Structure 1
Amino acid sequence: MTDQTREIRMQVMWNRLISVVEEQAMTLLRTAFSTSVREAGDLSAGVFDPDGRMLAQAVTGTPGHVNTMAEAVGHFIAAIPRDRMYPGDTYVTNDPWLGTGHLHDITMVSPSFKGDRLVGFFACTAHVVDVGGRGFGADGKSVYEEGIQIPILKFAERGEVNETLLAFLRSNVREPGQVVGDFYSLAACNEVGHRRLIDMMAEIGLESLDDLGAFIFTRTRAAMLERVRVLPQGEWSNTLDTDGYDAPVRLAATVRIVGDVVNVDFTGTDGVNPRGINVPIIYSKAYASYALKCVVAPEIPNNWASLEAFTVSSPENILNAPRPAPVSVRHVIGHLVPDLVLGALAKALPGKVLAEGAAALWNIHMSVRPVAGAQGRRAEILMFNSGGMGARPGLDGLSATAFPSGVMTMPIEATEQVGPVVVWRKELRPGSGGDGQHRGGLGQIIEIEPAPGHEFDFSAMFDRVNHAAKGRDGGRDGAAGIVALNDGTALKPKGWQHVPAGRRLVLHLPGGGGYGDPARRNAGARALDARRGYVTETGK
């Protein structure tokens, strides 16, 4: 076999491996019980070599899940000795510090055997609707209040499911059918990946993934080094103020580019918070790495070798919160990490980094119940919503788009089907995108009312209410968010709050910052904005 033929053969097998993990992820999407997975794609899936190094990830999924999962598999391997791994096994945890940052995410890892030989691992992660405790919200004061904790253990051994674990789950969560169903979906996701991999290896004649893994890592590492080595050497810092819980929280980052490594250091960030907005370092690292990769090497495949170019360091603080800090809504601060890091990188690479955006998802967890004396039903409803992205150096920002998480918007019909609520309005918010040569993306206006005879408590997990997304290079800031009832009662951006029967929750989601001097915006673009209703009468 010539070198060129071998190269082509390896590339074909690499592409085939990616199709394997895509089918793995699609299995989870199609079988999941929770709307956050089924409708929004709040998941990850990937295949790993026997040493726990990620070979390939599914395109479907979020950076927070994918990049934490890439590190989490190593924790599973450390916890379960090789001589206790068997064909048909599946392992599970929701440990925030060993998994993906909070208890609501379930990570499953399954060894893949070809005969008696361990050839790799499959892993997947998904957000489940409930894990008990206080529910999905920022009000907890320790992780022990936030739900049931599952250490790394076996969900199944040799194909036999751990019924004791399922009994504990059913006794500790509000929606046992959904949660247990999602556990089985996660296990099926890995099983499909395993079967497709073994089929592929048998068809091609592979006994192991060693040669293919070496090819993937060698090519990826070479491509990453080529990109990193042309970056300017030095260090650049940035700070970003967030709403916090009861008081603002300042985030700080320094990006250092030295030789072949890009380091992000979070020294200067505010300390661990008493409420559940803290972030384990595994999650902060996931989004810092994603931000860097978006600018440095967006088209290079995401795997162990590409992630190896980025390192993260931090003293204990809100972005490196130790156990048992409350971390339930770690995604809010975690989703702001890319804007923080990109703000520093923009000083190193002027003219190449987008403006700040809404960043954090405006997730709503609603606990719906009948009012006293009325007939009805209870339900736990999780709804994902997105504000506007920041404008880019050459393009307007995308409206109502989840950056950096990448999750999809849930259809109104799916939300209303889950429980007794009515979504009266879900539309773009005119004037919310920051003005500039390129306009920031628009947020949304959403109105939600309990169905007749019902009321609900909801967990607010919002940011950019008191600290709007900043424009870049002369662009204007995006509009800040607003949380209120339809009678004008102002509500807090975080914490559990009440919506009585007959009232509507009204959310004005934040817009993205503009990019460049507004005086340089094309007249045709301004006219199109006005015609589409994207701007208010003042043109802002």
Structure 2
Amino acid sequence: MNQIDEIRMQVMWNRLISVVEEQAMTLLRTAFSTSVREAGDLSAGVYNARGEMLAQAVTGTPGHVNTMAEAVMHFIAEIPREEMYPGDTYVTNDPWKGTGHLHDITMVSPSFKGDELIGFFACTAHVVDVGGRGFGADGKSVYEEGIQIPIMKFAERGEVNQDLLKILRLNVREPNQVIGDFYSLAACNDVGHNRLIAMLDEVGLDNLESLGEFILSRTHAAIMERIADLPKGAWSNDMLTDGYDQAIKLAAEVSIGNDNVNVDFSGTAAMSPWGINVPMIYTKAYACYALKCVVAPDIPNNAASLAVFKVSSPTNILNAERPAPVSVRHVLGHMVPDLVLGALAKAMPGQVLAEGAAALWNVHISARPVEGQEGRQAEVLMFNSGGMGARPQLDGLSSTAFPSGVHTMPIEATEHTGPIVIWRKELRPDSGGAGKFRGGLGQVIEIAPAEGHEFNFSAMFDRVTSAPRGRDGGEPGAPGSVALDDGTQLRPKGWQHVPAGRRLVLKLPGGGGFGQPAERLQEAIAADRAQGYVTGGDV
């Protein structure tokens, strides 16, 4: 390939990324659920005809993008090529073939140019409700957690499966929101397909084969160079998480060879009877993300870069088998990067950030009027983030969603969806772990039912009994807490009640510090105090 052809291919690669970005923006702009529209809890990508991911949208979460990279293969295995037609859209929320729990809807659409199948578009989003017990850790099997949609056709030749919509409408609490999101997902793939065909027509290509080969071969060469520079050997790490009703040990061994990096989760606790189990497809997604953050953060994320990372585990809480309950699989799933990074820190001392809050502090609220009074009944989902761990040369980011990368919904948007009032949402002083570089701050949030209402809420929190650890002499971040405003302590997981007139008070964990606290610059200490980040007292 001459230099002009290489430049031309690189330009088309950039155009392909623009295509999937527009695909993702379509979902953001048309979604009904605030978790998608405001928080960006979604992913979008384009695949070749063999189901290999070529490009992903920048907008999206690692848990969705990297699971979707594998999920497309399940769709191809399930639906024969001769039964694929232009205008088709396929759907599932199977936790083991999709993205790890029932609340995530994955849609895959074949892309035809004329009569030739040239690739696939796929997207994923978290919907507000899938029936069952609701979004929470209290289920004892996946059968309790909501409706299960096997890999099937949402639309065939452009005709939507109305029987599926009728089944959905009778099984979820917010049918208009959920079905609206299904249509948004399908539209998102349609936009991607239309933009791709327009691009191929413009540049004179009949399919994605030559461009796909260019993308994957260049990515493979780049990632192999990075692996060649890594130290070779095996390193282990373990950590405790809160679990549901008792602490749970997670363990990992990272081994670096000449042409791959392997992660094994042997030694991790057995499957839980509660809905905190993680299907392997989701564990693998976040393990690969952690590796890529250190090994090759600037190399595109596609089938070639993901292929060098191998993940294995016996059956345990990070490799849960059907029909284990998995509704809040993200809690332990979000701990996987800290677990893997802790092993990498031994291989690459001084180069890996400290532990942070990691798991999102999601709260699902089911609000209703107090008995005898009129009012609204609604399901409200809210994403919140604690502090990130300090980095080798910088303080940790405060109230930032690492590793998921989702945004926090604005208070105004959240209050609009249901009868609740958010009285307080501010940084939590003294929550970042001390160190040469300080851990990021958590936040304090107070939520109350609107007048004449009460609510039940599903707690999906961690780092309450097991604080984020510092690195290289840094101190741990502050653990989180869950309580009512009268001081009543609540559990970090499970459905609980907030009566009328009371407030739910969440104090989110801070990140661990990096390096010895005595080495922190005096100017940084003074700035922390001036900004109220450090007061010397507890909050």
Bucket of the pairwise TM-score, normalised by the shorter protein: over 0.9
**Corresponding residue for residue 213 of structure 2:** 214
SS in 2 for 1:328: coil
Instruction: Specify the code of the residue in structure 2 equivalent to 1:166.
Output: L
Q: 1:360, CA displacement in angstroms?
A: 0.1
**Corresponding residue for residue 164 of structure 2:** 165
**Corresponding residue for residue 260 of structure 2:** 261
Q: Which runs of 5+ in 1 are unaligned?
A: none
Instruction: Specify the code of the residue in structure 1 equivalent to 2:331.
Output: V
Distance 1:299 1:534 in 2: 32
Instruction: Specify the code of the residue in structure 2 equivalent to 1:355.
Output: A
Distance 1:208 1:380 in 2: 44
Pairwise mapping of residues 475-514 of structure 1 onto structure 2 (< 5 A)? 475-514=474-513
**Corresponding residue for residue 444 of structure 1:** 443
Instruction: Specify the code of the residue in structure 1 equivalent to 2:24.
Output: A
**Corresponding residue for residue 26 of structure 1:** 25
Instruction: Specify the code of the residue in structure 1 equivalent to 2:501.
Output: G
> Can you list the C-alpha shifts for 1:343-373, whole angstroms capped at 9, x where unaligned?
0000000011000000000000000000000
Distance 2:20 2:304 in 1: 18
Distance 1:485 1:466 in 2: 18
Instruction: Specify the code of the residue in structure 2 equivalent to 1:153.
Output: M
Pairwise mapping of residues 292-441 of structure 1 onto structure 2 (< 5 A)? 292-441=291-440
> Can you list the C-alpha shifts for 1:255-285, whole angstroms capped at 9, x where unaligned?
0111211000000000000000000000000
> Can you list the C-alpha shifts for 1:427-480, whole angstroms capped at 9, x where unaligned?
000000000000000000000000000000000000000000000000000000
**Corresponding residue for residue 147 of structure 1:** 146
Instruction: Specify the code of the residue in structure 1 equivalent to 2:160.
Output: V
Distance 2:380 2:408 in 1: 14
Q: 1:35, CA displacement in angstroms?
A: 0.1
Q: What is the count of residue pairs matched by the alignment? A: 539
Distance 2:537 2:138 in 1: 39
**Corresponding residue for residue 535 of structure 2:** 536
> Can you list the C-alpha shifts for 1:134-162, whole angstroms capped at 9, x where unaligned?
00000000000000000000000000000
SS in 1 for 2:380: strand
Instruction: Specify the code of the residue in structure 1 equivalent to 2:253.
Output: T
> Can you list the C-alpha shifts for 1:199-220, whole angstroms capped at 9, x where unaligned?
0000000001100000000100
**Corresponding residue for residue 5 of structure 1:** 4
**Corresponding residue for residue 182 of structure 1:** 181
Distance 2:279 2:85 in 1: 31
Distance 1:538 1:181 in 2: 48
Identity percentage over the alignment?
76
1:199 corresponds to 2:204:
no
Distance 2:101 2:365 in 1: 19
Distance 1:472 1:257 in 2: 22
Q: 1:101, CA displacement in angstroms?
A: 0.1
Q: 1:537, CA displacement in angstroms?
A: 2.4
**Corresponding residue for residue 472 of structure 1:** 471
Instruction: Specify the code of the residue in structure 1 equivalent to 2:342.
Output: G
Distance 2:207 2:476 in 1: 53
Q: 1:539, CA displacement in angstroms?
A: 10
**Corresponding residue for residue 273 of structure 1:** 272
Pairwise mapping of residues 66-85 of structure 1 onto structure 2 (< 5 A)? 66-85=65-84
Distance 2:352 2:374 in 1: 54
Distance 1:459 1:533 in 2: 31
> Can you list the C-alpha shifts for 1:14-68, whole angstroms capped at 9, x where unaligned?
0000000000000000000000000000000000000000000000000000000
Q: Is the 8 A contact 1:42 1:407 kept in 2?
A: yes
1:291 corresponds to 2:325:
no
Distance 2:457 2:535 in 1: 31
**Corresponding residue for residue 64 of structure 2:** 65
Distance 1:401 1:140 in 2: 29
Distance 2:97 2:228 in 1: 32
**Corresponding residue for residue 48 of structure 2:** 49
Q: Is the 8 A contact 1:397 1:438 kept in 2?
A: yes
Distance 1:104 1:52 in 2: 23
Q: Is the 8 A contact 1:430 1:536 kept in 2?
A: yes
Distance 1:404 1:19 in 2: 24
Distance 2:407 2:52 in 1: 28
Q: 1:536, CA displacement in angstroms?
A: 1.8
SS in 2 for 1:133: coil
Q: Is the 8 A contact 1:245 1:494 kept in 2?
A: yes
Instruction: Specify the code of the residue in structure 1 equivalent to 2:168.
Output: L
**Corresponding residue for residue 233 of structure 2:** 234
Q: 1:323, CA displacement in angstroms?
A: 0.2
SS in 2 for 1:239: strand
Distance 1:362 1:38 in 2: 18
Instruction: Specify the code of the residue in structure 1 equivalent to 2:513.
Output: G
Instruction: Specify the code of the residue in structure 1 equivalent to 2:219.
Output: T
Instruction: Specify the code of the residue in structure 2 equivalent to 1:457.
Output: N
Distance 1:409 1:525 in 2: 28
Distance 2:52 2:143 in 1: 31
Instruction: Specify the code of the residue in structure 2 equivalent to 1:503.
Output: R
Instruction: Specify the code of the residue in structure 1 equivalent to 2:178.
Output: V
TM-score relative to the length of structure 2: 0.99
> Can you list the C-alpha shifts for 1:368-425, whole angstroms capped at 9, x where unaligned?
0000001101000000000000000000000000000000111000000000000000
1:517 corresponds to 2:516:
yes
Q: 1:538, CA displacement in angstroms?
A: 5.5
Q: Is the 8 A contact 1:27 1:188 kept in 2?
A: yes
Distance 2:359 2:225 in 1: 32
Q: Is the 8 A contact 1:530 1:539 kept in 2?
A: no
Instruction: Specify the code of the residue in structure 1 equivalent to 2:198.
Output: D
Q: Is the 8 A contact 1:291 1:342 kept in 2?
A: yes
**Corresponding residue for residue 225 of structure 1:** 224
Q: 1:83, CA displacement in angstroms?
A: 0.2
Distance 1:539 1:230 in 2: 45
Distance 2:535 2:84 in 1: 62
SS in 1 for 2:490: coil
